[in-house]
Structure formats: C-alpha cells, structure tokens
Structure 1
Amino acid sequence: MGAGGSSPHLLPAMAHDPLPRPAATPLWRPQPARAGTLSLRAGALWALGGSAASAGGQWLFIVLLAKLTRPEEVGHYALALALTAPAVMLLNLQLRALIASDATGAFRFADYLSLRLFTTLLGLAGSLVVAGLLGYRGAVFALIAAVALGKALDAVADVLAGAQQQHERLDRVSTSALLKALLGLLGAAAVLRGGGGAAAAGAAMAGLNALVLLLYDLPMAARVLEGAGALRPRLRWGVLRQLAVLALPLGVVMLLVSLIANVPRYFIEHRWGATELGVYSALAYVLTAGMLAVSAAGQAATPRLARAYAQGRRDLFVPLCGWLMAVALAMGVGGVAAAALFGRELLTLLYTPTYAARQHTFVLVMVGAAVSFLAGALGSIVTAARVLRAQVPLCLAVLAVTTLASAAWVPGRGADGAALATLCGFLVQLGGFALLYRRALAGLARSSRGTTEEGGPGAGGFPPRRRTPPRGLA
C-alpha cells in the first residue's frame, strides 16, 4: 500500500498534510508525460511483470526451501522476514511513492537518495541489534543478517525505481526485478543443492542483487535523471529534515502495516513453534504475491492520479480509481475461487502433501487476501491524493484488531486463527480507506470549483479542462 512533495496551493489534500518548502530551488524537476514514456496500460503490464518477477522469485525461494528442507527451515526464514521487516518499512519512509507523486519537483532527487541511504544504514544496524537482543545465534542469526542485507540493497534500488516510475519508465523497473529474480534463484538453488542452508542461500541472493544494483539500476537511473550527478548524495540537513517530516507519516504507516502482517506470525512462533509458522507463511505468501500484483497497477497509476488530483481533474481521477479497484476485485475473486476449487492440488504441486492438508487454511487466507487487495488499491489512491497523516490512526486501529484477534484465536487454532485474525484486520482497513477516499473526493470537489475551463496546462502536464470527456486511459 503504498507519495512526494508539492506546494500546498497546488495540492488540495495537503490542507490536512502541509508540506514544508525546501530550502533551495530544485535542480531535478519532473516533466509532463512525453515521448518515450509508457501508456497507462503498458505501464501497468510492465509493473505487473516486474511485480510478478519479484514476487515469483521470493515465492520460488520459499518453494525451494519447502522442497529441499524441512518446514522448520521455512519457519526460520519467515521469522527472519518478520524480525527485519518492521524497522526496514519504518525507515524506508515510502520514498518511492513520494518521488513518483512529486508532481512539482519540490525536492531534488539527491535529497531523496541521501535520506534513503541514511535510513537504510539505520535499519540494517537496528535489525541486527534486535536479533542479538532476542537471543538468536548461529545459523538463525546468520539468516537474519542475510535477509537484512538483502532488504538494505532492495531499499537503495527502490528509491532509484521511484525516479523511473515518476518518468513512467516501469519497463526498466521490471527489467531490474526480473534480473534479480532469475539470478537470485539460480544462486540460491545452487547453494541449496550443494548442501548449504537457508542462510548461505540468502547471502548468495543478496550478493547477486548487489551486482544488479551496480551494473543496471544505477546506470539506468543516471540516464532518466539526465546525468550521474543527480546520484551523488547531498547532505543538506535542513532539507533532509523537512523531507523526513513529510515522509514520516508514511513510514509509520508502513511500520504498522508490517506489524499487522507479522503479529500473527509472532503469536504462532511463540505458541506453536517454527514448523507451524513455516506452514502458515508458505500459505500466506500467496497473499503477498497477489498484493504485489495489485501494487503494480497502483504504481502505474500513481503519477497520473497525483497529477489529476493536483489539477483538480475529477474527470480523470475518478475513472483511474475505478480502473484500479476493478483490477483489485478481479484478483481477489479469482484467488478465492482458485483456492476453493483447486487448493489441494495447487498446494501439492507447489509445496508438499504436508501443506496440501491445510487447504481449509488456504481458503481462509485467500478470503483475507481478497479484502486486502481492495484495501491496498484504496491505499494507493489516498496516498496519491496526499491524505497521509490520517492513515496512521487507521493503521493503529487495524493493528489493535489484528493483535486482539491473534491473542484470542492463534493459541487454540494455530494457522487457522492467524488467517481469521488477519481477515478481521483487513476488513477494518478496507472500511477506513473507504472513508479516506471520500475525504479525498471532497477535497477534489473543492479544488474543481476553483478551476476554469480556459486555464493553461498545469504543473502536472495535463491540458486545460474541457467539456468533452478525455479519450481512454491508455
């Protein structure tokens, strides 16, 4: 679920979320859509391909662990993800979404990059300290360290992808994801086949991701930013502080989102152990993979949603929202149907009969996934509209519901209880985002009343408002 700086008078939703102005005129200024950018449908397809590659690579790594190791090993990997994710999600501050929706170039790209590098180092160190304080040693600690390093590299690549996304070049983002997935899986498979454990496989994947970052992501970012100079960090502490203050609500939201996903896992590991956690995590990863597909559509639509909202263009904003929600609904319905009709066969094929015996849990997970897809689509919309701070109390409510439900159901029902607790949380999240969407539309209506039909092109690059509806979404 997962927005950029812009001037308050250009962005109606920022009446709720005021943006401090940077200290200097930006050198990097996003341009309107131009030749070389992708259409919305092409961008969505590329983003879907990239998300499929990323999700597929992570999921196939779990498949490798499930087939070549014991469920306990899968559980240790899930534990490593659960321990490292909260700090990383908080400190990433959702800067990619901020860059992609920075319709007026309020900050330099070097500012985004500098802040991301600083927070990434904090997140990496924090994850290792927490793992040590919790008493993890040996192979489990090594696995946690490998996962934390991989997430740190992903964080750097993510902010570079934000520049590509802002310029609507999701084809390059997807190419990077495909390279990392292919190389990472080949490296992990070689290590596991050679007798190595999950920690060694994770380290191999992190090393190959670093190779793609150096040889592809950085050169492509320099090209879209028209020079490698934009990739040099600039420690303008006043501007970095302003950017961090703007982004902090989204960072807190992502921390809460991570906790919402992982709290049921903490309860499972504490009460049932690594084996039950491994089974639940393998089943629940389908939800993560589906959410990445929904996020792909959101990534493609975010720059246009942000420009439409900044210009008060309800005639563009609302159809884009409808398109995004339709994608999420189709994904959810399809997932539930597949789990109910073919769940046992799918789980046998993908994992082992041990996992296939839990088809009923799989169906519960996919019902929760369907609700989460709709909530995720609405989350992308309200983030593009800059309704940011209100997401924090909503996520706190979702976390509270998920925690209480996990405490009530996981001790007695294991993975089934975790799936039910997650579903309850997603229902609260969907209702809250629906209310925030209404709030965004109200702000858009106020902006539209102040827009004249004869106005010139705006900062977002849209033509003047006209009486005839625009041509399709492509």
Structure 2
Amino acid sequence: MKNKILHVFSTLLFSFNQWIQVILITRLIGLYEMGLFSYFLAIVAPLVLFSRFSFSDLVPTQRKYSYGYTIFARFRGILNYIFLLSMAGFALVMDFRPYEMACLMLFSLFKFYETKEEFIYTENIAEGNIRFLAHSKIIKSVVTVLFFTLSVVVTHSLMAAIISLLAAQVLVYYLYDRRFASYDHHMAKLFGRMHFRHIFWLGIGLSVVGLLSSLNANVPRYFIEHYHSVEDLGIYATIMYFAAIASNIVITVNQSYIAELALAAREGFRKFYGEFFKMMGIYLVAIVIGNAVLILYGNDILVFVYGEAFRGHQTDMVLLGVFISLIVLEKSFEMALNVFNLYNIQVMLQAVNLIFTVALSALLIVPYGIRGSFVVAVITAAAIVLSQISTLLLTRKY
C-alpha cells in the first residue's frame, strides 16, 4: 500500500510538473506558442498510443502467450521506429514553417524516448514493482521542471522548451530507467516474424482503441485550429489540461491495481467487482469535491493562474468538471474491459464515437468555438461511458 501511495504522489508531482510547463508557456512565451505546443501533441498522440499497443494493460492481463518481456520489447522497438519515421514524413507534408517543423520533430523524438521508458514501466507494472515507477516519475519531474524552467525563463523560446523536455527524458532514461529493464540480448536475437505476428494480432484491438480514443479527444482541437485560431486552441488546451491531470492520476491508480484486479477476475465476477467498486467509491468522493471547487471558484482559478485573458470562462470550467467526472469513469471502465480481455468490442465503441465526435464538432465547434468544444467533449465522453457500462453488464450476464 505504501508503494501505491508513493506512486500516486509521484503522478501528482509529475502532473504538477506538466502544469508548470503549461503555465510557463502561456505566461512567458505566448498563447500562440501554447496553441502550437498543444497542436503538436494532438498530432503526435494518436500515433504514439498506437505504437505503444497499450502494453501497460495488455502484458499484465494477457494469458495467451508466455513470451518474456524482451520479445514484447523488440516488437515495441520496431513500432517506435516506425512512429518516428512516420512523423518525419508528416512534418514534410504539413504546412509548417521550418521552425515549426523542427519543433515538431524534436517533440516527436521526445515522445520516442518517452515510449521506450514506458515499456520499462510496463515490465515493472506486470511484476508489481510500483516503487520503481514512483521513483522514476519523481526523478524525472524534478529534472524536467529544472531544465524546462531554466530554458523558458532564459530564452522565451518554444524550441528551447521542447529541447529541455527531450534532454531531461534522455538523461533519466539512460542514467536511471534502464537499470530496471530485463532486456535479454540473446533472447532478442530469437525474435522473428512469428513473434511479431502473434503480438500484433493479440494487441491490435487494444492498440486501435488507444488510437481512436486519442482521435476522439483531439478532433475538437483540429476543428478549433482550422476554423478559429491557434490562440483559441491555446486557451482551450490550457483549460482542458486540468482534465489531463485527472486522467493521469486515474491511469496511475489503475496501473497500480490492474495486476491484482486481473487475479481477482480469474476467481470470478463477484471477487472482481467487490475490489473494483471499492476503488470507484474513492473516485466518486474526489469527483464531488472537485466539481464543487470548479463551480465555486473555477473562473478565479483560471484568472489567478493564467491571467486576465482567461476571464469569462466560468461556464467552461463547469463543463470541464462534468467532463473530468466522465473521464474518471471512462478510464476505470476501460480498465475493467481490459481485465476481461474485451479489446475488440472497444474498437467498435471508439470507432462509432469518433464518427459522432466529428459530426458534433462540425455542428458545435465551427459556430461556437471553445464553448462548443467543451460541449462536444462532455457529450462524447458520456456516450463512451454508457456504452462501456452496457458492455460490462452484458458480459456479466453471460
């Protein structure tokens, strides 16, 4: 339990570190750069999640193959290089200036190393070594905030900020994280097309779920950038970052418990749901408190942290609270579906929701901008949660 609490604390620290990045970019560099930074993330995120094949959920819960971690690591490495090459091609065809293109490639390289680190996290999640995850995140948070703050304060440059993220990631990966990897070079030489094919078909459903889920979250950003402005995207992304913090915390807690919940599920539905609903009870208390804070002080928080440019977004903060509540439920029910290896049905749910998101974005974001984006986020998140609950109830029945 102490290790799990330490893991949650490390995630809070890491999320706070990312929040500091948003604040510094918004206040010291500008809203345009914040919008650009968010746009880079919206471009990169779907491909990152696809290339990761959701191994943090798949490896601890799959029971079909007895491959060691090295085989999974080799598969991840191949997809990670494909991701980097894809981003290079994407940067060339996008209508970016040379400076923006360079920033995108540096950001992609940062995500490349973050994905390498994420597989080491996966190994340790599967082995229940939560202490390592906590220590790694704490070290990375401290190093990153120092590098990032120094670069932004001295240069006021988005490129320097991204370089600082890359430098901190590479430093922690090589000097600390790799010590906790179990990569076997002899076993790696045995990796072949059979292994690639087995893992591909085992995880493609969950990988596509990650891709579609990311597109669902980022489609409103594409619409804001295209039909309104990069500055509006900066405002939306800055406010929406509170949801990213909540999502990080929920995913971290779920990672801490997924191996135990998988074992409980093998004993039966009753055992699993007993443990699952204990966790959900804690989430519901946090949801009530969080929404109360946003309803009472949402606008004041925005103005105090980000400045006068954010005044007048109280309604958006209330919608944000509803969206965060739904995200907490969505990530929890998604974990439950993964525990029962219900990957393929999630592909269908996310695919239908993506079509729904695009249609709603055209109807609401084009005329209403930022406010429409929050309404779209709430409606689509609610649709996913209802479909997840229906799937779990039907599974339990049969």
- Gaps of at least 5 residues in structure 1 are 1-40, 444-474
Structure 2 CA distance, aligned partners of 1:187 and 1:329? 36
Letter in 2 for 1:324: M
Please tell me whether the aligned partners of residues 111 and 235 of structure 1 are also in contact (alpha carbons under 8 angstroms): yes
Please tell me whether the aligned partners of residues 337 and 392 of structure 2 are also in contact (alpha carbons under 8 angstroms): yes
Q: Does 1:327 align with 2:267?
A: no
Structure 2 CA distance, aligned partners of 1:217 and 1:82? 27
Structure 2 CA distance, aligned partners of 1:55 and 1:231? 36
Structure 1 CA distance, aligned partners of 2:86 and 2:13? 29
Q: Does 1:155 align with 2:115?
A: yes
- Gaps of at least 5 residues in structure 2 are none
Offset at residue 46 of structure 1 (A): 3.0
Corresponding residue number in structure 2 for 1:111: 71
Corresponding residue number in structure 2 for 1:446: none
Structure 1 CA distance, aligned partners of 2:381 and 2:186? 39
Offset at residue 103 of structure 1 (A): 5.8
Corresponding residue number in structure 2 for 1:139: 99
Structure 1 CA distance, aligned partners of 2:51 and 2:92? 20
Offset at residue 389 of structure 1 (A): 0.5
Structure 2 CA distance, aligned partners of 1:123 and 1:391? 23
Corresponding residue number in structure 1 for 2:216: 260
What is the DSSP-based 3-state SS (H/G/I as helix, E as strand, rest coil) of the residue aligned with 2:161?
helix
Q: Deviations over 1:433-466 (max 9, x none)?
A: 10222244346xxxxxxxxxxxxxxxxxxxxxxx
Which residue among 353, 357, 362 is the counterpart of 2:308? 353
Which residue among 8, 23, 32 is the counterpart of 1:63? 23
Corresponding residue number in structure 1 for 2:152: 192
Corresponding residue number in structure 1 for 2:60: 100
Evaluate the alpha carbon distance shift between residue 160 and residue 234 of structure 1 in structure 2; reply closer, same or farther with a 3 A threshold.
Answer: farther
Which residue among 292, 295, 298 is the counterpart of 1:337? 292
Evaluate the alpha carbon distance shift between residue 204 and residue 433 of structure 1 in structure 2; reply closer, same or farther with a 3 A threshold.
Answer: same
Which residue among 433, 437, 445 is the counterpart of 2:392? 437
| Segments of 4+ moved more than 6 angstroms | none
Q: Does 1:216 align with 2:172?
A: no
Evaluate the alpha carbon distance shift between residue 414 and residue 303 of structure 1 in structure 2; reply closer, same or farther with a 3 A threshold.
Answer: same
What is the DSSP-based 3-state SS (H/G/I as helix, E as strand, rest coil) of the residue aligned with 1:168?
coil
TM-score normalized by structure 2? 0.95
TM-score normalized by structure 1? 0.80
Q: Does 1:308 align with 2:260?
A: no
Corresponding residue number in structure 2 for 1:25: none
Please tell me whether the aligned partners of residues 319 and 374 of structure 2 are also in contact (alpha carbons under 8 angstroms): yes
Please tell me whether the aligned partners of residues 325 and 378 of structure 1 are also in contact (alpha carbons under 8 angstroms): no
Q: Does 1:129 align with 2:89?
A: yes
Q: Deviations over 1:109-141 (max 9, x none)?
A: 111100111111111221232122122122221
Q: Does 1:370 align with 2:344?
A: no
Q: Which of the two has greater helix per residue? A: 2
Over the residues paired in the alignment, what is the CA RMSD in angstroms? Answer: 1.9
- Aligned residues, how many? 398
Offset at residue 359 of structure 1 (A): 2.3
Higher deviation after alignment, 126-135 or 366-375: 126-135
Structure 2 CA distance, aligned partners of 1:234 and 1:332? 48
Counterpart mapping for 1:351-430 below 5 A = 351-430=306-385
Evaluate the alpha carbon distance shift between residue 413 and residue 233 of structure 1 in structure 2; reply closer, same or farther with a 3 A threshold.
Answer: farther
Please tell me whether the aligned partners of residues 29 and 156 of structure 2 are also in contact (alpha carbons under 8 angstroms): no
Structure 2 CA distance, aligned partners of 1:331 and 1:118? 40
Corresponding residue number in structure 2 for 1:72: 32
Structure 1 CA distance, aligned partners of 2:227 and 2:367? 9
Evaluate the alpha carbon distance shift between residue 233 and residue 357 of structure 1 in structure 2; reply closer, same or farther with a 3 A threshold.
Answer: farther
Q: Does 1:120 align with 2:80?
A: yes
Letter in 2 for 1:96: S
Offset at residue 281 of structure 1 (A): 0.1
Offset at residue 334 of structure 1 (A): 2.5
Equivalent pairs: percent with the same residue?
Answer: 21
Evaluate the alpha carbon distance shift between residue 286 and residue 230 of structure 1 in structure 2; reply closer, same or farther with a 3 A threshold.
Answer: farther
Corresponding residue number in structure 1 for 2:50: 90
Offset at residue 230 of structure 1 (A): 8.2
Letter in 2 for 1:88: V
Evaluate the alpha carbon distance shift between residue 303 and residue 439 of structure 1 in structure 2; reply closer, same or farther with a 3 A threshold.
Answer: farther
Which residue among 231, 235, 248 is the counterpart of 2:191? 235
**Which structure is larger by alpha-carbon Rg, 1 or 2?**
1
Please tell me whether the aligned partners of residues 100 and 165 of structure 1 are also in contact (alpha carbons under 8 angstroms): yes
Structure 2 CA distance, aligned partners of 1:371 and 1:294? 12
Structure 1 CA distance, aligned partners of 2:62 and 2:208? 20
Evaluate the alpha carbon distance shift between residue 230 and residue 301 of structure 1 in structure 2; reply closer, same or farther with a 3 A threshold.
Answer: farther
Evaluate the alpha carbon distance shift between residue 42 and residue 70 of structure 1 in structure 2; reply closer, same or farther with a 3 A threshold.
Answer: same
Please tell me whether the aligned partners of residues 113 and 159 of structure 1 are also in contact (alpha carbons under 8 angstroms): yes
Evaluate the alpha carbon distance shift between residue 122 and residue 367 of structure 1 in structure 2; reply closer, same or farther with a 3 A threshold.
Answer: same
Structure 1 CA distance, aligned partners of 2:387 and 2:208? 17
Corresponding residue number in structure 2 for 1:175: 135
Offset at residue 364 of structure 1 (A): 1.1
What is the DSSP-based 3-state SS (H/G/I as helix, E as strand, rest coil) of the residue aligned with 1:194?
helix
Structure 2 CA distance, aligned partners of 1:350 and 1:269? 23
